[in-house]
């Protein structure tokens, strides 16, 4: 097969269709006319001798053969983006721009604390910040859509490198007057299963909270965010675990410290091993480690 008939733009079209499940939305994402995108994908399928997408009146389905092609296309595009990273390098840190993401139970509370010091340290660096679930951010990092992610360690993907920054304890949050809010009261693992409020599936904090339960039980008392959990606790719905950085004096709940190191998470920075800026990411993690030393509510990693 002659590779001259295959372009990176073709691969971008294929990945966009797979991601959006629609030729129309993919065309909007790629900023191209939908008929042109459809024609180019059909031409690509003819070149390859395979059907990538099953087209129905309601939706677009990736075929079994197409799934393998789409995943390989993602990897090719990620490597191609590295070419631009290499040629666009400048004397500025990270080439002048850094796309930094954080898991959603960390970003809103950590970013405000680290940004002033980061701006001082990297005065010429343009920071693009984002948040999401671990299961969303890690694939984006691998595909080159973000440059680094602040997340809970350990991370196990072989394509990524990581460095610890700090250890963050969890506090038990209960309605004011609840027995668990008093000295000698029940701790998280001693609460009735129906009293434990959790985040929805997909949040690593949910799994960490369940790991601290001797009998987690079955419950549908879930929330989409930490702030929603706090509101539920304040309304008397039950108790939950809140990372130390997310605790605020304005919260209408009672917080209590938990014994030992079981109820905590280790926060770190992850980046692609293949990224030519690996030494800069290592230096950034050390900078973040030094910044975190000024936090009263965390410990060294």
Question: What pLDDT does 190 receive?
Answer: 86
Token pair for 284: 């950034």
pLDDT digits (tens, 9 = 90+) for 140-151: 999 889 999 999
What is the reported pTM? 0.72
Q: How confident is the model over 220-276, as pLDDT tens digits?
A: 578 888 999 999 999 999 999 999 999 998 999 999 988 777 789 999 999 999 988
Given this model, what pLDDT does residue 63 score? 93
pLDDT value for 1: 56
SS3 assignment, position 283: helix
Angle between helical axes of 8-20 and 64-87 (0-180°, round to 10): 120
Q: By three-state DSSP, how is residue 103 classified?
A: strand
User: Please, are residues 51 and 65 in contact by the beta-carbon 8 Å criterion?
Assistant: yes
Angle between helices 278-292 and 107-121 (to 10 degrees): 110
Nearest-Å Rg of the Cα atoms of the chain is 23
Average pLDDT score over residue span 111-130:
93
Nearest to residue 94, comparing CAs of 129, 125, 130, 137?
125
Average predicted confidence (pLDDT) for the chain: 89
Tell whether the model's pLDDT for residue 5 goes beyond 80. Answer: no
Distance in angstroms (rounded) separating the CA atoms of residues 289 and 285: 6
The DSSP call for residue 239 is B
Evaluate if residue 163 carries a pLDDT over 80.
Answer: yes
pLDDT at 78 over 70: yes
Q: Does the pLDDT value for residue 22 go beyond 80?
A: yes
**Helices and strands, counts by H and E, the chain:** 9, 12
Quote the CA–CA distance of 107 and 158 in Å, as a whole number.
24
The confidence score (pLDDT) of residue 219 equals 57
pLDDT band of residue 84 (cuts 50, 70, 90) is: confident
Look at residue 18 in the predicted model and tell me its pLDDT: 93
Residue 208 pLDDT greater than 90, yes or no: no
Give residue 218's pLDDT.
54
Kindly tell me if the per-residue pLDDT of 88 is higher than 70.
no
Q: What does the pLDDT look like over 39-65, one tens digit per residue?
A: 999 999 999 999 999 988 778 899 999
**Look-up of token digits 């395979």:** 50
pLDDT category at 214 given cuts 50, 70, 90 is low
């Amino acid at each position: 097969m002659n590779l001259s008939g295959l372009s990176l733009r073709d691969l971008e079209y294929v990945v966009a269709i797979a991601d959006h499940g629609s030729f129309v939305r993919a065309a909007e994402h790629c900023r191209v006319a939908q008929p042109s995108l459809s024609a180019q994908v059909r031409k690509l399928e003819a070149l390859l001798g395979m059907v990538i997408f099953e087209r129905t009146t309601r939706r677009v389905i990736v075929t079994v053969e197409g799934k393998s092609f789409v995943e390989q296309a993602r990897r090719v595009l990620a490597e191609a983006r590295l070419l631009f990273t290499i040629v666009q390098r400048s004397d500025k840190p990270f080439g002048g721009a850094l796309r930094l993401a954080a898991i959603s139970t960390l970003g809103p509370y950590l970013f405000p604390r680290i940004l002033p010091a980061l701006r001082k340290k990297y005065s010429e660096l343009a920071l693009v910040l984002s948040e999401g679930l671990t299961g969303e951010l890690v694939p984006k990092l691998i595909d080159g859509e973000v440059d680094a992610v602040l997340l809970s360690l350990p991370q196990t993907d072989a394509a990524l490198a990581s460095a610890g920054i700090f250890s963050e304890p969890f506090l038990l949050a209960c309605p004011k007057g609840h027995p668990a809010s008093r000295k000698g009261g029940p701790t998280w693992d001693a609460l009735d299963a129906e009293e434990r409020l959790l985040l929805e599936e997909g949040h690593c904090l949910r799994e960490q909270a369940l790991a601290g339960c001797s009998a987690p039980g079955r419950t549908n008392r879930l929330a989409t965010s930490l702030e929603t959990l706090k509101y539920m606790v304040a309304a008397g719905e039950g108790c939950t675990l809140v990372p130390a950085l997310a605790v605020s004096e304005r919260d209408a709940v009672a917080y209590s410290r938990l014994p030992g190191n079981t109820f905590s998470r280790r926060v770190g920075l992850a980046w692609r091993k293949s990224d030519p800026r690996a030494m800069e990411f290592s230096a950034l993690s050390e900078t973040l480690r030094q910044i975190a030393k000024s936090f009263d509510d965390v410990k060294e990693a």
